[in-house]
Structure 1
Amino acid sequence: MTALQQPSPVKPANTRRKQKQSQRTVGRQLRPVLLLFAVTGLLLGGLGSRLAYLQLAKGDRNRQLAENNRIRILPKLPVRGLLLDRKGRIIADSRLSHSLFIWPLAQTSERWPETVQLLAEILEIPTEEIQTKVEQAEPNSPTLVRIARNLTPAQITAIEEYSIDLDGVEIDAEPIRSYPHGTLAAHVVGYTGEITSEELDALRERGYRLGDVIGRMGVERGFESQLRGEWGGQQVEVDGSGRIVRILGEKQARAGLNISLTLDLDVQRAAEAALDDRRGAIVAIDPHSGGILAMVSHPTFDPNIFSTRITHETWEALQSQGNPFINRAVRGYPPGSTFKVVTAIAGMESGKYPPGTILNTYGVINLGGMLMPAWNGAGFGPLGYEGALQWSSNTFFGQVAVGVGGVTLIDWSRRLGFGVSTGVELAEESSGLIADDEWKRERFNDWGWTIGDTANMSIGQGFTLTTPLQVAVLFAIPANGGYLVRAHFLKDERPADAWRKSLDLNSANVATVQRGLRQVVTAGTGQALAVPHLPPTAGKSGTAEAPPGETHAWFGAYAPYDKPEIVVVAFAEHSGGGGGSVAAPMVREVLETYFDVKPPQ
C-alpha cells in the first residue's frame, strides 16, 4: 500500500507579512549608507578636482607664493663710485647710514594700519607716502622696500622700542651719497635721488630696480652708468615669525667706478670766493684740451640735503633764494662785447676786411636804419682790429658785420662754438641761440632778418645768447692758436688733440686777435688785470643790455699771453656795472690762485 503523502504545511498570513516587512526594513537601512558613500564620493571628487586645479593650473603661482612666504631677498645697494678732482682729492663719496625697510607681505597683517600710523609718527612722513612706496612692489614680493633713508639715532631707538608692534619692518645699514665740501662745486657735482616709479618703468630694461639711487644733476647724472655699480644681496629662509633661519645664497654688490675729473678744487674754491654773493658764474678751462678747471654758479645749494627726504618747506626755502638749481655757467645770456672776437674773425676770414683794415669810428652810426652809438659818445677815430678790440668800438665792428653780411656772421658764430652744445657732460647745458632768417620768420610773423639784426649781433646784442662756458671755449681759440676745444670734466690720459679740432684759421688773423686782446689789458678796458704779480694776460670785457634788469658784466681772459695755460670767464648777472670794473677783478682773483701769487700789500 502506498504511503500516504502528507500535505505541505501552509504558512500563516501573519508570517508572510513579517517577511515582507523585514525586507523593506533592510532596504531602508542601506539607503543612508549609500547616500553617505555618494556624498563622500562627491566631496572627494570635488577636492580632487580642486587639488588638480591648484597643482596643475595654478601650481607655479602657488609654489611661488609659498616660496615667498619662506624665502626672502635682502638686497644690497652698491656703493656709488667716488668723484675725484684732478689731484685725486675726494669731491663725492659714500658713507654708511641706516634705512628703514618694509616687507610687502606686511600689508596682509591685521595690524598693518597700526604699523603704518606708528611709522608715520616716528619718521614724520605722511601715511600715504609710506603706503604708496609699499604698493610700488608686488604684494607678495620677497624683496624689501625702502621707506626712509638716513635715519636719526632717535628714530632708530624709537623703532627698536616698538619693534613688537611693527610687523614686517626692518632697519639695515646701506651706503648713502656724501659731499664732504658741502656747497663747493655743487652745480658741477649735482646730487642723487631715489628712482621714481615713472623712471623705473623707463629704466627697468637697463637693470634698474625699485629703491635704486640715480644721479639727477651735474656729473652725478652725466656719469651715471659708470658710477652706479651693480646690486647684490642675500637669499634667506625665514620661519613663521619672519626670523632668518639660514642664508641660501649671496651675491656681492659691485661698487661703481671712480671718476677723476679735470676740476681743480683750489681753483674752484678761488672762483667761488671771487663770485661771492653775486648772481652769476665763473668758468675756468684748459685752453688746449678743454678740460674744465672750475665752474661756479650762484646762488648755490648743498647737495647733502638730498641724502634724506626733502620736505615741501625745505624745497620752498631753497627756491626762495633765487633758483639755486639753475647752473648759470651753462645758461644762455646776451654776451655783449665779448662777441666782438667772433665779428673780428668773421671779418678777416671772409677776406673782405683783412688784418690791416682801418675804419673810421664815430659817436653814432646808422646801419640799416638802426642807430648804433659808441659807448663813449664820441667814437675813437680811425682804428684797426687791435685798437677796435682795445677800445671795444661798436661802430667799427658794426661796419665789419654789415659789410660781410648776416649769413657770414651767423656761419662763423656757429663754427666758433655758439648756438650748439659744447659737449660737456651736463644734461642741463643750454645751446644758447644764434638766430637766423628762418628762426626770425617763424617767430615774428614772417618778418625776416635785417641789416639792423646783423649790426646788433656784431656786438653781442639782439637775439644772440651764449653761455659762460661757450664764451670760455671762444677765448680758448686765440689762446691755443686756432683750435675749437670740446669742454669736458672727464680726466683721462688722452692727448689734447683728442679733445679739439683745427678751425683752419689764417695764422695772421689769429695773431691779430691775440694782439688786440693783449692791448685790452695793457691800455684798454681790461686794465684791472695789468698787475705786476700776474703773468702777461690777454682778454676782453663785455657789458650787455638785458632788460628789464640792469646790465650784465662779462670778462674773458687767458694767461700767460705768450704760452697760455688757463682761460677764465667771469659773468655777473644784472650787476649794473661794466665788464672791466665788475667782472675783470673776479678773473684776476682766480688767476692769482692758479699761478699761486698774491697781490702786493
Structure 2
Amino acid sequence: MRTIDFLPKPRAKKSPSPKRTSQPSFAQDRRQETGRTVGRQYQSILMMLLISLVLLGGVGARLFYLQLSQGEVYREKAENNRIRIVPKQPVRGNLFDRKGRVLATTRLTHAAYLWPMAQKRENWPENRRRIAELLGVSEKSIEEKVQQAGFNSPTLIRIARSLTPAQITALEEYRSQISGIEVDIETVRDYPHKKIASHVLGYTGELDAEELKQRRSEGYRMGDVVGKMGVEAAYEQQLRGEWGGLQLEVDGAGKVMRVLGQKAAKPGKDVTLTLDLNVQKAAEAALGNRKGAVVALDPRTGAVLAMVSYPRFDPNVFSSQITPAIWKELQETKPFVNRAMRGFPPASTFKVVTQTAGMESGKYPPNTILGTFAYLNVGGTAFGEWNRAGFGPLGYVRALAMSSNTFHGQIGRGVGGPTLIKYAHIYGFGSKTGIEIPGEVPGLIADDAWKRKMLNWGWTDGDSVNMSIGQGFTQATPLQIAVMFAVPANGGYRVRPHLLADSTKKADQWRTNLHFKPTTIKTLREGLRAVVTSGTGKGLNVPYLPPVAGKSGTAEAPPGKSHTWFGGFAPFDNPEIVAVAFVEHSGGGGGSVAGPIVRQVMEAYFNKKPPNPNSK
C-alpha cells in the first residue's frame, strides 16, 4: 500500500537574486514610458476643457453684458441710426402798438440743419470745412454746436439761418458729397419799421452755450431763440411759445421712410404795447441824428407813448448772420445804450423839485418873494445868474418862467440838503422807475454819507445850491424827468411808467398819491405854464396846439458843450401827454434846442401841423 504523507515537504532553497544595476531592464523602461504618456493625454484633455470653459464663460458673460446690462443702450443706438428727430420751433408772438399796428412779427426763411450722427469721423474735418465755406460761417461755430449736441445726437441742429438762394442752391449741389445736411423752412423775427423803437423792442438771438446752461432749467433747449433786450426780453415767457417736432424713420441713405410721431409747436402769445407808432416815429424824426433821448408818456397812467434813444440799431440784423461790416459798425457806434434810462445832470428841470421842497417844507410858502442877483455868494463860491444880472424880486411863478438860478439857490440853501434830498426821493429820483425793460439805472441823489464815502468831505451849503439848480452830483434819467413832470400835470401823483397795455388795471394801480398841498400843485402848474407863455419855452406857445406847460434846462457838461433839456405837458387844463427831450452835448439853450423836439412830439400826438407859410 501506498502511504500518503500529509506532512509538508521542505521548500527548495532559492538562489540569490541578481544585483540591481543603474540601467533598467527593457520591460521596466517600457512600463515607465507607457505610464507618462497616458498622464500627458489626460492633462491635455483637461487643459482643453478648461480653456473651452473659460472661452465659453467669457462669451457668455459678454452676451449677458450686451443683452441684459447694456441691451437698452445698444437698442437705443440702433434706433438712433434709423430715427431722426426734426425739431419745429414755435412761432414767436407778435408785438403791437396801442392801436393794433404791428411792431414785431415773424417771416419765413430757410435754415441749414446738420445731423451729427450721419457724419463719419474720418470725413468730418473736410465736410466741416466745405459746409463752412458754402454757408459763410466759421468752422469753429459749427464744431461748437456739434460738440454741444454730441456726435450721437439723432436731432438735427441748426448751423445757419436766413440762407440766401445762392447758399440753398450750393447745398443742393453738394448734397451727394456732404451727408447729413438739410435745408428747412423756419420763422425768424421781423421788425417792419427797422430802427424805429429799437431800444424799446430790443432784439432776439439764439442762446449761446453759456446762456443755455443757465436757462436749461426753465425748459430751454439748444437752438432756442430768445429775447435779448427790451420788450423781447421783458416778455419772453409770453412771446416764446413751445417747441414741437417730427420723429422720422430713415433708411441707410437718410431717406425718410415714414413719420413715427409728431407734436405741433405751440405759438407764443401776442403782446400789445402802450407805444403809439405815430408819436414814436415823430419823436425819432425830431431827435434826428443827435445823441440824446425822447420820452413821452400818459401822465394819468404812466403808459409810455414813445421812447427814443440815439444812436439806434436795426434789430433785423440779428435775425440772420451778422456780417463783419455790420459788426464793425455796431462796435463803432455803440447803439445799445438806451439814453432814455441813463443818468445826466437834470439842470433847471430840477427846479420843480426845489420849488416843491420850499413850499411843502413850509419855509417858503407859495407867496414868497425873493430878490435875485448877478450871483449868489455861498462859502466863498459865486453861483452866477444865467443872464449875469439878475431879475429883481421874483415869486415862484416868475422865477420858474425865467429859470432864475439865484432864486432857486436861495430856496435850496434855506431848506438845506436833507430837505432837498427828501423831496428828490419823493419824486422818484435816485431809484429805478420800475419800467419793465432791463437796463435802467437809478441815477444819483447824493447826500452827506455818499459824499464822505466818495470824497472824504461832508455836505456843504454849496452842494445844496448846486443841487437846487440840477447841477453838482445830481444825475437823472429822461424817464425820471418825465415822471417828475407828470406830478404837476396829473394833480400830485407819481406814476410808474410801463409798456404793457393792460386794460384790466385802473389808473390808480399805476400811480401813487404824493399828498402835496393843493397850493403847491397850483403854483407849480402856473409857473410851468408861464415858462411857455412868457419865459424860456415860448417856442411851444403856438396857436395850433392845445395850451402847453413845461420847463427848459441847460446843463454844464465839461469838457464838451452843454446838455439841453425840455419837458412839458398838454393840454394844460387836462393833460394827456408828457414829453421830455434831452440832447447830449448839443450846446445852446434847452428852449431853443430841445423845445422844438417836444413840440413835434405834441404835433404828432394831437395830429396837428403848423400852418403852411405859403398858403393864403
Question: Does structure 2 retain, via aligned residues, the 8 Å contact 1:111–1:167?
Answer: no
Deviations 1:436-478 (A, max 9, x none): 112111211x212111111111111111111111111111111
- The equivalent of 2:411 in structure 1 is 400
Please list, as runs of the form range in 1=range in 2, the aligned pairs for 1:506-545 lying within 5 A after superposition: 506-545=517-556
Q: Which amino acid aligns with 2:383?
A: M
Q: Give the aligned partner of residue 383 of structure 1.
A: 394
- Letter matched to residue 396 of structure 1: F
Task: Note the 1:191-590 alignment, pairs <5 A.
Answer: 191-321=203-333, 323-444=334-455, 446-493=456-503, 494-590=505-601
How much does 1:597 deviate? Answer: 1.2
Q: CA deviation at 1:562?
A: 0.6
Per mean C-alpha deviation after superposition, the further-off stretch among 107-116 and 474-483 is 107-116
Deviation of the 1:506 alpha carbon:
0.6
Conserved in 2, the CA contact under 8 Å of 1:283 and 1:468?
yes
Q: Is the 8 A contact 1:183 1:301 kept in 2?
A: yes
Instruction: Please give the alpha-carbon distance, in whole angstroms, between the structure 2 residues aligned to 1:539 and 1:325.
Output: 29
Give the structure 1 partner of residue 88 of structure 2: 76
Q: Do 1:355 and 1:512's aligned partners in 2 also have CA atoms closer than 8 Å?
A: yes
Corresponding position of 2:7: none
Task: Indicate conservation of the 8 Å contact 2:110/2:184, yes or no.
Answer: yes
Contact 2:137–2:160 under 8 Å retained in 1: no
Report if the CA contact (8 A) 1:191-1:216 is conserved. yes
State how far apart, in whole Å, the 1-side matches of 2:374 and 2:82 are.
88
Unaligned segments of structure 2, at least 5 residues: 1-24
8 Å Cα contact 1:367/1:398 also seen in 2 = no
CA contact (8 A) 2:119 2:179 kept: no
User: Relative to structure 1, is the Cα distance of residues 455 and 60 closer, same or farther in structure 2, using a 3 angstrom cutoff?
Assistant: farther
Q: Would you say the 8 A contact 1:369–1:452 is kept in 2?
A: no
In structure 1, list runs of 5 or more residues that go unmatched. 1-12
* Correspondence for 1:112: 124
Report the Cα distance in structure 2 between the residues aligned to 1:126 and 1:369, rounded to whole angstroms: 65
Once residues 483 and 136 of structure 1 are traced to their aligned partners in structure 2, the CA distance between those partners, rounded to angstroms, is: 53
Q: Is the 8 A contact 1:433 1:466 kept in 2?
A: yes
Give the C-alpha shift of residue 53 in structure 1.
2.5
Aligned residues: 587
Distance 1:52 1:587 in 2: 81
List per-residue Cα deviations over 1:310-343 (Å, max 9, x = no partner): 244422222323x211111111111110000011
What letter matches 2:481 in structure 1?
V
Please state how far the C-alpha of 1:25 moved relative to its aligned partner.
8.5
Residue in structure 2 matched with residue 52 of structure 1 by the alignment: 64
Helix, strand or coil for the counterpart of 2:386?
Answer: coil
Give the drift of 1:17. Answer: 11
Q: Kindly state the Cα deviation for residue 531 of structure 1 after the two structures are TM-superposed.
A: 0.8
Give the AA of the match of 1:246: R
Using the TM superposition, give the Cα deviation of residue 428 of structure 1 relative to its aligned residue in structure 2, in angstroms. 1.2
1:121 aligns with 2:142: no
Write out per-residue CA displacement over residues 66-110 of structure 1, whole angstroms, 9 at most, x where no aligned residue.
Answer: 332233321111111100000001100011111111123245443
2:177 corresponds to which of 139, 159, 165? 165
Q: Per-residue displacement from partner, 1:224-268 (whole Å, max 9, x unpaired)? A: 111111111122223223333222221111111100000010011
1: distance between equivalents of 2:284 and 2:331? 20
Counterpart secondary structure, 1:246: strand
Q: Which has the larger radius of gyration?
A: 2
Distance of aligned partners of 1:246 and 1:22 in 2 relative to their CA distance in 1, 3 Å threshold: farther
Alpha-carbon distance change, 245 to 30 in structure 1, aligned in 2, over 3 angstroms: farther
TM (norm. structure 2) is 0.91
Percent of matched pairs sharing the same residue: 59
Q: Secondary structure at the match of 2:105?
A: strand
Which amino acid in structure 1 is aligned with residue 271 of structure 2?
A: I
Cα distance in structure 1, aligned partners of 2:519 and 2:508: 22
* Separation of aligned partners in 2, 1:298 and 1:563: 31
Letter in 2 for 1:577: G
